[in-house]
Structure 1
Amino acid sequence: MSKKNFQVVKSSGEKADFSLSKLRNSLFRSGADKSTVDRVLNSVRDELYQGISTKEIYNRAFALLKKSKPIYASKYKLKKAIYELGPTGFPFEKFIGELMKYSGYEVKVGQILKGKCVSHEVDVIARKDEHRILAECKFHNDKASTCNVKIPLYIHSRYRDIIARDVDSEERPNEAWVVTNTRFTLDAITYGNCVGLYLLSWDYPKENALKDRIDRLGLYPITVSTLLSSREKQFLLSRDIVLCRQLLNDSFYLDHLGISEVRKAKILNEISSLCKNKSK
């Protein structure tokens, strides 16, 4: 391939220079070995053209990884799998709750808390040692959407109302989190840091972002499966099965879907491999 710069079109419609290093890093995050990554990179580079969409690049890389080893493809599609938790935000709230539970927190989802002025529905309440957290989850279906400064402004005002209520100090929350499946704008990050909100997004904070926590804990959403159909995934989500790990414990749901024993074994093998295959 020549050194000519290729312009790619992002999901937002913006144009950007194609980044080989970004593609390489995303492939390595899938757990693929160097020879597989090099093979995928060479194949994708041969098919580049001016104005190619990032979606086309993703689809080609995904197909090659799936052909090589399905578990690579499952981990590679993690970001897309988070979007597939929609269209409503509730499965995402459940997913964040499970992520915190497996991090050692006592967790409640969808609770009503009284504030000094009004009552508030809180997405996730988590407690561990001295940490008493209120987490608000902002799920976006649109990949081009960002979490702007209005969101932390709104959540901070709710948090202030809740902690202003005269309650026992051990019951009063002392941390507020804003969690999103997309990205925060610079203003949102600046405001959050200024007022003491903890912001967690797909790629923020660095090295402890949502994608890092998922890989580290091996807590992949059920939507990463390359073997389950969209209908089957939605059925499982409607039964509050949001993690691959949960399906391993409640595999009888696959029987409810009328899945054959042969296919069931393949699905369980896929998700079992994902749960074991976590980052060090």
Structure 2
Amino acid sequence: MKEQKAIEIIKSSGDKVRFSLTKLRKSLQRSGADEALVAQIVNQVRDELYQGISTREIYNRAFALLKKKKAVFASKYKLKKAIYELGPTGFPFEKFVAAILLYSGYTTEVGKIIQGHCVTHEVDVFAKKNGLVAVIECKFHSEEGRNCNVKIPLYIHSRYEDIKKHWNRKRNDNHTLDKGWVVTNTRFTEDAIAYGKCVDLYLLSWDVPEGDGLKDRIDRLGLYPITVSTLLSKREKQFLLSRDIVLCRQLLNDHFFLDHLEIQEPRKEKIMKELRQLCNC
């Protein structure tokens, strides 16, 4: 299959880029759809392209075709959009990051107040594992197209250094302050990545580190946010988020919340089936 020539699409940032069949194919493959279905959707979307089509229109079309075939494929495909739907505030994203780390062997606290050398700091996520402590700042963007620029790691590094100076001076904790983190649901600019490497900040975004970014961790561990569900309504998702249910896996374990929502048994069974497929349970 040849790449589409001379078709420019408009990203959410407003930038124009050349459409890539390869990128579309890879995003569809991540949904779990088999190669025959992926090829079918790629061909259909390709045939419907026109100059200046938006990435949103391409996404909506591919999503609709996946959902028509199998809901769980559509749920996985909408992962990036689902993380945006955790908003509009960044607090559910902080809880989402903490939940991912919890299932990766960390103990976590959200919104912890820590004394620095100069001032106190409210840390988004305070995580411990194997005697090491990570101080994590989460930068959530509710609008697509916005990247995390170098100002963010510059600011976070200064806070981390203030905390580190006090931590090392008091020497009354059996945990070692290991590293500062910056986690975002979008992407880092090149300057942000360069600065993070220079000062040894750990940067975690949609696709950084390569092969171990948010999308990779979520897919690998089956830790999908509740907002990926195509069977729950927006109101139901907001109810669950308000009860600190941010992962599909959490709802699978605490499915009595579906009773609180007065969801009837046939629909409840469909939702539970979707959750099990998403969590590989």
Shift, 1:128, TM fit: 1.0
CA offsets per residue over residues 204-243 of structure 1, 9 Å max, x none?
1110101000001100000000000111101100000000
Q: 1:209 aligns with which of 213, 237, 256?
A: 213
Asked if the contact 1:254/1:264 (under 8 Å) is kept, the reply is: yes
3-state SS of the aligned residue for 2:239?
helix
Which residue number corresponds to residue 263 of structure 1?
267
Q: TM-score, length-normalised on structure 2?
A: 0.96
Name the structure 2 match of 1:64. 65
- Residues 184-208 of structure 1 show CA distances to partners (whole Å, capped at 9, x for unaligned) of 0111111110000000000111101
**Cα distance change of structure 1 residues 256 and 48 upon mapping to structure 2, 3 Å threshold:** same
RMSD: 1.3
Q: Is the 2:4–2:21 contact (alpha carbons within 8 Å) kept by the matching residues of 1?
A: no
Specify every segment of 5 or more residues in structure 1 that has no aligned partner in the other structure, as ranges. none
Q: Which residue of 1 aligns with 2:237?
A: 233
1:9-41 CA-to-partner distances (Å, cap 9, x unmatched) read 111111110000000000001111000001101
Amino acid at match of 1:21: T
Q: CA deviation at 1:131?
A: 2.6
The DSSP-based 3-state class of the residue aligned with 1:234 is helix
| Secondary structure in 2 matching 1:183 | coil
Q: Deviations over 1:150-186 (max 9, x none)?
A: 1101111111001111222634522110000001011
The alignment status of 1:183 with 2:187, answered yes or no, reads yes
Aligned-residue sequence identity (percent) comes to 66
Question: In 2, distance between residues paired with 1:232 and 1:3?
Answer: 40
Offset at 1:107?
Answer: 1.1
Aligned twin of 1:75: 76
Distance in structure 2 (CA, Å) of the matches to 1:31 and 1:2: 23
Separation of aligned partners in 2, 1:101 and 1:122: 16
Secondary structure of 1:141's partner?
A: coil
Matches within 5 A, 1:1-280: 3-165=4-166, 166-168=169-171, 170-276=174-280
Question: 1:112-132, CA deviations, whole angstroms, 9 ceiling, x for partnerless residues?
Answer: 000011000001111111431
* Code of the aligned partner of 1:236: L
How big is the shift at 1:3?
4.8
Shift of 1:267: 0.7
Q: Distance in 2 between matches of 1:105 and 1:178?
A: 16
**Aligned AA (1:127):** K
Query: How many angstroms apart in 2 are the aligned matches of 1:109 and 1:266?
Result: 32
CA contact (8 A) 1:221 1:244 kept: yes
CA–CA distance in structure 2, aligned partners of residues 172 and 203 of structure 1? 28
Deviation at 1:259, TM superposition (A): 1.1
2-structure distance, mates of 1:104, 1:3: 44
Mapped partners of 2:251, 2:133: distance in 1 = 29
The CA distance in 1 between the partners of 2:152 and 2:159, in whole Å, is 11
Q: Secondary structure at the match of 1:121?
A: strand
1:238-278 superposed Cα distances (whole Å, 9 cap, x missing partner): 0000000000111111111121111111111111110007x
Alignment partners' CA distance in 2, 1:143 and 1:126: 28
Q: Is the 8 A contact 1:145 1:182 kept in 2?
A: yes
The answer to whether the 8 A contact 1:163-1:172 is kept is: no
Q: Secondary structure at the match of 2:66?
A: helix
Listed as ranges, the gaps of 5+ residues in structure 2 are none
Which amino acid is the alignment partner of residue 199 of structure 2? V
Equivalent residue pairs, number: 277
Whether contact under 8 Å (1:132, 1:174) holds in the other structure is yes
SS across alignment from 2:279: helix
Compare 1-10 and 106-115 and name the one that shifted more: 1-10
Q: Partner letter of residue 170 of structure 2?
A: V
